Amino acid sequence: MSRERTDEQPAPQALPQRALARLRVAVIDRDPGFMQVLANRFAALGCEHRSLSSPATVEALVAMRLNALVLDLSVVGPESWDYLERVCGRLPGLAVIVCTGPSSVAQRVRGLRLGADAWVTKPCHAEELICVIEAAVRRHRRHELPQIDVASTIGEITIRPDLYQAYVGERSLELTAREFEIVQLLAQSDRVLRREEIYERVWGYAMAHGDRSVDVFIRKLRQKLRAISPAWSYIHTHFGVGYRFAPEPEPDVEAADHRAPVEEPGPELPAALSR
């Protein structure tokens, strides 16, 4: 099957995708070096991050729509406990990791009881702190996948991950699970994808040399797409490279220019790479 992303033996690859990818994290601290190290790690993990050298107001934190907050209590000053309590109280869905210098048991107990999710003592190893954040965020995220399930439309094609269903205008495309995943990948990537890349991201592991599965699936997809809207071609071959998804009028073989920047009816998205 295809869904078996979980425990498939022939998939030595994917570690469970770092939990921080695509999340928003803020760090309130005063050590520029520390924040820089973290910023680098966050960036590497595909995590949207923000460094604050002074405590933001609770309202400001709310506005940031954060998933996690790393907080050095010593930055806040005398009202640190109150601040921590207000933050945790107002943002129950926010993972708060207190990362502060040496502290007493009583302080740690107090912090945790006020709502902090974890207490890390400085100096600490960046990777360990990252893991603590991940652990905290993991639970919050576990049941709120719906946000990834938003429908997206590319030209006439509409993709609904929540229904595992694709549409051309009003009509629905009858796609199998794997076909759908390929269309989804192609449609959401506004660029040429190499076969190896498609295979790896859909199958979950590296493509064997000489494997033509991708080609076969592309053919099936073209067939089904053509059956519904013969006037358009959606999947374009880039000889020697791979495939690209883009709604364009069915070109006659000529296609003199490869990049064929056909006047493309406005809808050619703001060109601003959506990714």
Partner DNA sequence: TTGCGTGTAAACATCCTGTGATCGGGAGGC
Partner DNA sequence: GCCTCCCGATCACAGGATGTTTACACGCAA
Q: Which of residues 153-192 bind DNA (CB under 7 A)?
A: 174, 176-179
Q: Pick between residue 65 and residue 171 the one whose CB is nearest to a copy of itself.
A: 171
Q: Pick between residue 24 and residue 108 the one whose CB is nearest to a copy of itself.
A: 108
Instruction: In angstroms, give the least distance from the CB of 64 to a copy of itself.
Output: 20
Instruction: In angstroms, give the least distance from the CB of 275 to DNA.
Output: 6
217 touches which of DNA, a copy of itself, none (CB within 5 to 8 A by kind)?
A: DNA
205 touches which of a copy of itself, DNA, none (CB within 5 to 8 A by kind)?
A: none
44 touches which of DNA, a copy of itself, none (CB within 5 to 8 A by kind)?
A: none
Residue with tokens 């064929």: 260
269 touches which of a copy of itself, DNA, none (CB within 5 to 8 A by kind)?
A: none
The DSSP secondary structure of 38-90, one letter per residue, reads HHHHHHHTT-EEEEESSPPPHHHHHHHT-SEEEE-HHHH-TTHHHHHHHHHHH
Q: Which of residues 203-232 bind DNA (CB under 7 A)?
A: 203, 208, 210-213, 215-219, 222-223
Instruction: In angstroms, give the least distance from the CB of 49 to a copy of itself.
Output: 19
Where does this chain bind DNA (CB under 7 A)? 1-2, 4, 174, 176-179, 195, 203, 208, 210-213, 215-219, 222-223, 237, 239-242, 253, 258, 275
